[in-house]
Amino acid sequence: MRRIVVKLGTNVIMRADGKVALGLVCGLVEQIAALREQGVEVLVVSSGAIALGVERLGLSEKPKAVEQAQACAAVGQSRLMNLYEDAFDRLGCRVAQVLLTEEDFRDPVRHANLRATLRALLSLGVIPIVNENDTVSTMEIDRPAESPQRERIFGDNDKLSALLMKHVDADMLVLLSDVDGLYDRNPADPSAMLLPEVHTIDASILALAHGGNGRGRGGMTSKLESARIALEAGKPVVIANGRTPRVLERIVAGEAVGTRFATAGHEVLR
């Protein structure tokens, strides 16, 4: 494969106790670095800034007030980048921070500048670390993704990663969270079965989605909407568990990991 976008959810970055999942993150960084060595360009879309801010400030939970959540994002974003900078630097990889808002996709000049910058970073061998700029953008924090009050371009990093995949012409989108993929019913049901492959996202598939755990903004519904954006662009998507051993290496190698979304007959490029 030539180029992929990998989205790491908050529930991958953070442990259940609210601390950084350092070993897990470093393991994923090693896999991304290995892919770069193989000539695969990787863009990372990473959540976790607000959660890291909550942890650093000693708060018991994510604040409900918008300005408090923004303050957490401001504190946590620098910690998030330090985490990636240190981990990738140990492996000889260079990274760059890219913070985006919806206006970067609405405004044609800003959009063109974004595409040019990302392509320049990739040509220089740099791994872009992309996140939504929650410190200055409030519409994504205080309005849920299903809000009817305005037309939304993206309401979370799942959709943001799908848009990036389209605009940098990536070959695949990988969404990593704390779930193994899409199930045929509520995963809490012992008889639930993982769907290994989905070709069409219709009402019956959307009905299988269930909400997240409250730390991140994106749940399965958001991931399915992102997968639909990718499918419309003719690109495959994989939803998988970030805790699965060698998950990225196995996905790029074409192994059946998680749930793969692709139009019928579409094969992953080898």
pLDDT per residue over 181-200, tens digit each?
Answer: 999 988 888 899 999 999 99
Q: Give 268's pLDDT tier (boundaries 50, 70, 90).
A: very low
In a domain? residue 209: yes
Element (H, E) at 5: strand 3-8
Residue range(s) defining the domain that contains residue 151: 3-261
pTM of the model: 0.89
Residue among 72, 31, 17 at smallest CA distance from 176 = 31
Determine the Cα–Cα distance for residues 73 and 81; give it in Å rounded to an integer: 12
The answer to which of 112-116, 124-128, 153-157, 199-203 has the lowest mean pLDDT is 153-157
In a domain? residue 267: no
Asked whether 144 and 221 are in contact (CB, 8 A), the reply is no
Question: Where does residue 181 fall: left (phi above 0), alpha (psi -120 to 50 degrees), or beta otherwise?
Answer: left
Give the number of domains in the chain.
1
Residue type at 122 in one-letter notation: L
Determine the Cα–Cα distance for residues 122 and 125; give it in Å rounded to an integer: 5
In a domain? residue 270: no
CATH number of the domain enclosing 10: 3.40.1160.10
In a domain? residue 266: no
The answer to which of 20-24, 141-145, 161-165 has the lowest mean pLDDT is 141-145
In a domain? residue 52: yes
Q: Percent of the chain at pLDDT above 70?
A: 87
In a domain? residue 59: yes
Element (H, E) at 105: helix 103-106
In a domain? residue 269: no
- Exposed, middle or buried: residue 190 (CB in 10 Å: 0-12, 13-18, 19+)? exposed
In a domain? residue 54: yes
Question: Where does residue 254 fall: left (phi above 0), alpha (psi -120 to 50 degrees), or beta otherwise?
Answer: left
